[in-house]
Structure 1
């Protein structure tokens, strides 16, 4: 079932996190094959205990299959633990710009999948939703966090969801406090400026890369006529079968180097 990492199609591979110790490759295979054709399953294991390390990879036949599996399988519970699923290649495309929101007033029955279903419609998340739980009982403490890849997404989520009902309880949605302990929330003008600057830099790099591509010209041989032309087309009042050469320079007479006054 497993495959060498370097041989996997990363665009069609899902990262599966927060796996219970009881989950093995066979179980993941049987679960994800319900979403699409599975090519390989790999779960790294501890060399000493032979237990899984809490994450694995599932490769599908196509990128479309992987996207579909992520949509329907993310936050599904295995042995009571919700799986956190992400595209294996997403870490190259997204980063934390500070668009992190706090969701308070959560009903104890709201889990990570419910939070994902409610907030994923506003934009791409850079990680799975996080509900803070009691470390001993795993019971929700009534609040959680969601991180997006842009402030447009987080602004839309706050505007649409703050004060709304989620599982029969009114929730509060706002920008989360930064972890530096200064009491400042995310979403500041400075963060937005840096995010916009980074986005502009990426766009500039893409444009520069595009301009640096070689200017490939078609390889047209002299005196070769096109194979397909519109019917009755005329160029300089000449029939199709009397086209002039594509490059007139090739019709210049050649000079005999031994006798410049004579042509070949």
Structure 2
């Protein structure tokens, strides 16, 4: 246990720089900065192995949170047991007033972690009430988000213009079930920003409202109605999208292909290209047809990952003609 984990490293920190830093505490056997296998860029953490345990303890006591290249480093004992690292045993997740509002604590055993949760959850730290709970890995968090998404009760409505208020919006959606809250977002003058939220007391009511009201006309405006997402859910979906796009590019695709569905009958190849051309270079556009009539879906191939990503983020849910379109990665065409 003469090995330390060094986290929150600046991308430009080198092994030589860390060697000179930690040699001040005692003889260093080796230093390894963990890097991406493809790009060889730093992943932001490293391991420092000392000859003597006392020297590692000295570095931990005197150098934790020191500044290297403008960033505060984070030190802790290296966890050599791969099972413990991966299982989450002894891990506690806490939410506090910090750079990102959350942190992680790894105890040596589960009983200590359970005691920390019991005694610290809900306590005030610097006048902030913190949440402390068991650590969840990314796979578990994503599964939890997917489960919540299938049981939503809150919906998001946009494109209804500036004449809407809470009462009118409630009148429109209360026929689908009991509403717990209705809110039209307004500017500093109290005028509608054109979007709002409705919270139902049941998933069935929210689902029915989405199915029946999405794309409907309200006072000459074709509205969009969908499941309301929290910021963490949107970030998780975007992250998953980026990772999928990256995998497609690595497998050798020449360009990135998008699948666009729910197209209005008036949208042809040229119109679809015009709508997406502002996002970057397009290799190919094709609206699928049968006997001269649109089948309601098509494909767009961008020349770069970045352009395709921008198009997905900006255009998904937008109205083309009379319908809100839906965009996903295309497997082949």
The TM-score range, normalised by the shorter chain, is 0.3 to 0.5
- Asked which structure has the greater RCO (Cα within 8 Å, sep 6+), the reply is 1
Greater Rg, structure 1 or structure 2? 1
Of Structure 1 and Structure 2, the greater strand share is in: 2
TM value normalised by structure 1: 0.40
